[in-house]
């Protein structure tokens, strides 16, 4: 190998001998904290997702049952009131 070339390669190979550590920029810590803060939304625990889904399902069932119960109660109550006031449930007109 050419002496100059060999010398040059050795110099390039040794160019990192006295390298100092690169320093992190001053505001990096705040950026990391921001990322961690916003990351909380990305990493929603799976248990929490299931709990929310179960809550919605339970709420829907309870609503349905309540509506069903309210519907039947209303009908009987109206019937009772109609009986008390002697209201006739027909389409005929009485003079």
Which runs of consecutive H residues, i.e. helices, occur in the chain? 3-13, 28-42, 46-84
Q: Which of 3, 19, 48, 67 binds other proteins (CB under 8 A)?
A: 19
Residue count at the site for other proteins (CB under 8 A)? 26
**Least distance from other proteins to the Cβ atom of residue 52, Å:** 22
Q: Which residues contact 13 (CB under 8 A, 6 or more apart)?
A: none
Residues 22-81 contacting other proteins, CB under 8 A: 22-25, 28-29, 31-32, 35-36, 39, 43
Determine phi and psi for 25, rounding to 5 degrees.
-70, 150
CB 89 within 8 A of CB 82: yes
Contact residues: other proteins, CB under 8 A: 1, 4-5, 8-9, 11-13, 15-16, 18-25, 28-29, 31-32, 35-36, 39, 43
């Amino acid at each position: 190998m050419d002496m100059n070339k060999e010398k040059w390669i050795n110099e390039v190979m040794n160019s990192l001998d006295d390298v100092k550590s690169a320093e992190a920029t001053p505001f990096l810590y705040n950026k990391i904290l921001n990322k961690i803060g916003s990351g909380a939304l990305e990493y929603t625990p799976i248990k929490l997702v299931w709990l929310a889904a179960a809550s919605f399902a339970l709420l829907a069932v309870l609503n349905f049952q309540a509506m069903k119960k309210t519907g039947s109660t209303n009908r009987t109550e109206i019937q009772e009131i109609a009986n008390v006031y002697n209201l006739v449930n027909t389409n005929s007109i009485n003079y």
